[in-house]
Amino acid sequence: MTTSDTTSGAVTGENLDKLNSNLRKVEELTQRLTQVMTHRSTHNAALDGPNQELFGKAASAYWHEALRDPAKVLEHQLQFWSKSVTHFVEAQQALASGKLKAPDDPGPKDRRFANPLWDTHPYFNYVKQQYLINADAVMQAVDDVTDLDPKEKQRLGYFSRQILDMMSPTNFLATNPDALEKAVETEGQSLIDGLENLIGDLEANNGELIVRLADETAFELGQNIATTPGKVVYRNRMMELIQYTPTTDKVHKTPIVLFPPWINKFYILDLKQQNSLVKWIVDQGYTLFVVSWVNPDGAYADVGLEDYIEDGYLTAINEAKAITAEKQVNAIGYCIAGTTLALTLSLLKQRKDKSVKSATFFTALTDFGDQGEFSPFLTDDFIDGIEAECADKGILPSVIMARTFTFLRANDLVYTPAIKSYMMGQTPPAFDLLYWNGDGANLPEKMAMQYLRGLCQRNELADGGFELMGHKLTLSDLDVPVCAIACETDHIAPWVNCYRGVQQFGSKDRTFIKTQSGHIAGIVNPPSKNKYGHYTNDDLTLDPDAWSETAEFHEGSWWPRWGAWLKNRAGAKVDARIPGDSAHPVLCDAPGTYVTVKAKT
């Protein structure tokens, strides 16, 4: 390499060429950034955070507390001042000693501050420690607020944590040693690459900043993801129905119809052969049908839950019955599709239709009395913002939902990936689960508001009945054999709430399984991994705490246990069925065409 002329300060040779090249890239990227931000799609401002009323109430409550118990507030203030001053003095003493060394840091470890410089370098250590002191003081202030409605206090705590997470020194170049080291190591190329990644993400989402979590070029549906062989045997405006190719000579008489959530794509259950629940079910000797939902645009604005039930659930069940010449199916519903399966089962009960032999629910909420971590997003100001957004676009755009879900785990799903991508210029990993996570779908306006207002906010299904299709649908109508699987650390559908819903089912045959891990990993838990265990307890009269305390723990996946439960309700063995029939010609290979449609606003 040609060296620079260090005596004159002039830069020559390759270094000058690289500098000029990077400067040209910065100019080009600046133009792209200006272009995308000029033409960015807008959304209702209410979706960006709580209205000022929440913070106004919090401030009023805090000062009321100060007047009522000034000693308590002063004590906490003095603790904060004392910690800050002591911290400053320790830093000064460390510098005055002549050794470039930080004070000893015996505090708890935080994954954000894994770089050794956070503990050894006085500058970074001071920044880190003061940030943690400030964060503790803020959360202490939130805890001190007593004269505030519990739900409002929960929101205050959530959004306070969001602000603190956003203000972490790791999120800024000048106070992130990893990013600074990378910039020096690459002669600034990492910053250029990071800017390209940032603009690329903005362009991909019409100016909305959604951090790309996976390398989208690494996967192709039907090639290295969603590869279980099958055929699309039916299609309408709401869904494609996939019948999977048998892998056994004999199959159980009663077919399975699986309804995945329509917030994301169905192939979470068919990522790759090693962890595909779809493949595992087929290999156990079942005729499996899976619904692949349409990704709606503004033309679907008036589509409601009744359309998902009529043109989705009931149609899929009827077509599966016709293809297999059977009178009944075993149904599965995952997440929101499980909630809607409950609505469908109540409807079928009232219609005296016995098409469903048994029902399995994966992490499905049917009692929305306690929304847990989602509570901050279910107050009127936020839902009013969603309603206005839906009215404007005819859909609830997938980017709005993606942003909401990811900020529930902001450090893991927003800031850490953003640091790696935008500050350090790294390419997102080729991770199938994260690829699926970014492949979202829109929700129709009518359906979104029915779900958010009627089910989530008013909890009508569990509290008096949900009016739909000329019926009042209730949980007590569900009288078919039921197996419900919920996940121990699920922040989307907390297991306690799933359990409370199952307790209200009218069925005498109820099985409840609590699996370790969360909303996805708890369900996509193949036996071959032997990773997460599960809990069982036949006494569903117990409250959730008592059920959990007396439950029996089992090593390994819940799949085989559920498989044994299903086998007893699946009928005798018959010859394996080839997908389709004369009335249902094959339309295309799995995974079909609907699944490939990207969300559009």
User: Which CATH superfamily does the domain covering 230-377+440-596 fall into?
Assistant: Alpha/Beta hydrolase fold, catalytic domain (3.40.50.1820)
- Mean pLDDT on 164-185: 89
Residue-wise pLDDT tens digits, 127-136: 998 899 888 8
| Closest alpha carbon to 514 in 460, 550, 476 | 550
Residue with tokens 């799995």: 590
Interatomic CA distance for residues 351 and 277, integer angstroms = 32
pLDDT of residue 3: 41
For residue 454, the number of C-alpha atoms closer than 13 Å in the C-beta half-sphere is 20
Q: What is the DSSP letter of 556?
A: S
- Lowest mean pLDDT: which of 30-44, 247-261, 333-347, 363-377? 30-44
**Catalytic residue set:** 335
If DSSP codes are grouped into helix, strand and coil, which group holds residue 367? Answer: coil
Residue-wise pLDDT tens digits, 360-402: 999 999 999 887 777 777 888 888 889 999 999 999 998 888 8
What are the residue ranges spanned by the domains of the chain? 45-175, 230-377+440-596
pLDDT band at 5 (very low <50, low <70, confident <90, very high): very low
- Lowest mean pLDDT: which of 66-75, 98-107, 331-340, 401-410? 66-75
Contacts for 165 with CB less than 8 Å, ≥ 6 apart: 410, 411, 415
Q: Taking the CA atoms of 142, 144, 147 and 153 in sequence, report the sign of the dihedral they define.
A: positive
- Residue count of the chain: 601
pLDDT of residue 230: 98
pLDDT of residue 1: 39
pLDDT of residue 2: 41
Contact call for residues 252 and 555 (beta carbons, < 8 A): no
pLDDT of residue 304: 98
Q: Select the more confidently predicted residue: 334 or 264.
A: 334
Q: Select the more confidently predicted residue: 25 or 242.
A: 242
Whether the per-residue pLDDT at 600 is higher than 80: the answer is no
Residue 437 C-alpha from the chain's centroid: 7
What distances in angstroms separate CA 14 from CA 27, 163, 187, 388, one per listed residue?
20, 43, 12, 55
pLDDT of residue 449: 96
Residue-wise pLDDT tens digits, 43-71: 666 565 555 565 565 566 555 555 555 55
- Mean pLDDT on 210-216: 86
| Closest alpha carbon to 453 in 551, 522, 542, 384 | 384
Interatomic CA distance for residues 86 and 79, integer angstroms = 10
Contacts for 18 with CB less than 8 Å, ≥ 6 apart: 187
Q: Select the more confidently predicted residue: 488 or 599.
A: 488
- Lowest mean pLDDT: which of 40-49, 346-355, 548-557? 40-49
pLDDT of residue 71: 59
pLDDT of residue 393: 92
What distances in angstroms separate CA 223 from CA 226, 290, 441, 510, 590, one per listed residue?
7, 19, 21, 39, 11
Contacts for 25 with CB less than 8 Å, ≥ 6 apart: 192, 196
- Lowest mean pLDDT: which of 143-147, 164-168, 355-359? 143-147
pLDDT of residue 63: 52
Q: Residue 357 — φ and ψ, nearest 5°? A: -85, -40
What distances in angstroms separate CA 99 from CA 85, 92, 93, 121, 177, one per listed residue?
21, 11, 10, 10, 20
- Mean pLDDT on 576-591: 97
| Closest alpha carbon to 342 in 311, 370, 308 | 308
Residue 50 C-alpha from the chain's centroid: 21
Q: Taking the CA atoms of 124, 127, 130 and 131 in sequence, report the sign of the dihedral they define.
A: negative
Contact call for residues 236 and 316 (beta carbons, < 8 A): no
- Mean pLDDT on 244-257: 98
- Mean pLDDT on 101-117: 78
Angle between helices 13-38 and 189-204 (to 10 degrees): 20
Mean pLDDT of the chain: 87
Q: Select the more confidently predicted residue: 304 or 492.
A: 304
pLDDT of residue 60: 61
pLDDT of residue 103: 65
Q: What is the DSSP letter of 246?
A: P
**What pTM, to 2 d.p., does this model score?**
0.84
Contact call for residues 297 and 442 (beta carbons, < 8 A): yes
The C-alpha angle 529, 535, 536, rounded to 5 degrees, equals 130
Whether the per-residue pLDDT at 467 is higher than 50: the answer is yes
Q: Mean pLDDT: which of 95-109, 152-166, 424-438 is highest? A: 424-438
| Closest alpha carbon to 366 in 484, 258, 507 | 484
- Mean pLDDT on 140-164: 81
Q: Residue 497 — φ and ψ, nearest 5°? A: -70, -40
The amino acid that residue 54 corresponds to is L
- Mean pLDDT on 104-121: 82
The amino acid that residue 452 corresponds to is L
- Lowest mean pLDDT: which of 86-95, 357-366, 511-520? 86-95
pLDDT of residue 143: 83
Whether the per-residue pLDDT at 87 is higher than 70: the answer is no
pLDDT of residue 510: 97
Contact call for residues 242 and 292 (beta carbons, < 8 A): yes
Whether the per-residue pLDDT at 76 is higher than 70: the answer is no
Contact call for residues 482 and 454 (beta carbons, < 8 A): no
Interatomic CA distance for residues 34 and 26, integer angstroms = 12
pLDDT of residue 188: 81
